[in-house]
Amino acid sequence: MAADFWKGAGGPIVSAGLGLLSAPFEIMSQRRQQDIMRSGLEAQLRAQNAALETNAMLSREGLYGQLGQALGAQNFSQIAADLDFGRQQRAKELELGPFAEKQMAFDVDKARREFGLAGSTEVREARQRENREALKRSLAEKETQMAGMFGRRAPVDVSTLFV
């Protein structure tokens, strides 16, 4: 009998009733899908807005950095010139002031040492030796020229010459 029920007029009525009962559930599931899609789209929109705000902030910060760099370079170039002038002025004051006397004393001591060394017998003998060697070289050059034209001649003793 239950099988005959579905074959007769009761089947479509029951299925229509079940369809009416399932309609609110379908509506609720469609709303839920719409809510999920809306929340996904809202999250995507929030991410795009955050990216735009971040890019705008970064470009502003970049412009601020460039402005600060330009102002810093302009100010530092003036300050650097002032600092350099101050250093040079201080060095000149020290050079002309307390260090001038010390430098003069060092220069006098240096001149005394050089004069003392120049007048020593070792330096004088070394200078004479160098002069003799130079004289030997120049005489040898001249003798080779003369020997080519006139033949050899007796060697000259350089130690007897005034050096």
Question: What is the structure's pLDDT at 87?
Answer: 83
pLDDT at 1 over 60: no
For the chain, the structural domain boundaries read: 13-90
How high does pLDDT run on average in the chain? 79
Q: How far, in Å, CA of 88 to CA of 80, rounded?
A: 12
| pLDDT tier at 112, thresholds 50, 70, 90 | confident
Given a contact cutoff of 8 angstroms between Cβ atoms, the answer to whether 163 and 135 are in contact is: yes
pLDDT at 117 over 80: no
Question: What is the structure's pLDDT at 50?
Answer: 92
Q: How far is CA 150 from CA 142, 143, 158, in A?
A: 12, 10, 22
Residues 15-44: tens digit of each pLDDT: 666 666 677 777 778 888 888 888 888 999
Q: Where are the alpha helices (DSSP H) in the chain?
A: 2-7, 10-96, 98-118, 121-150
Residues 6+ apart with CB under 8 A from 153: 143, 146, 147
Given a contact cutoff of 8 angstroms between Cβ atoms, the answer to whether 163 and 128 are in contact is: yes
pTM equals: 0.30
CB-count burial class (<10 Å; 0-12, 13-18, 19+) for 135:
middle
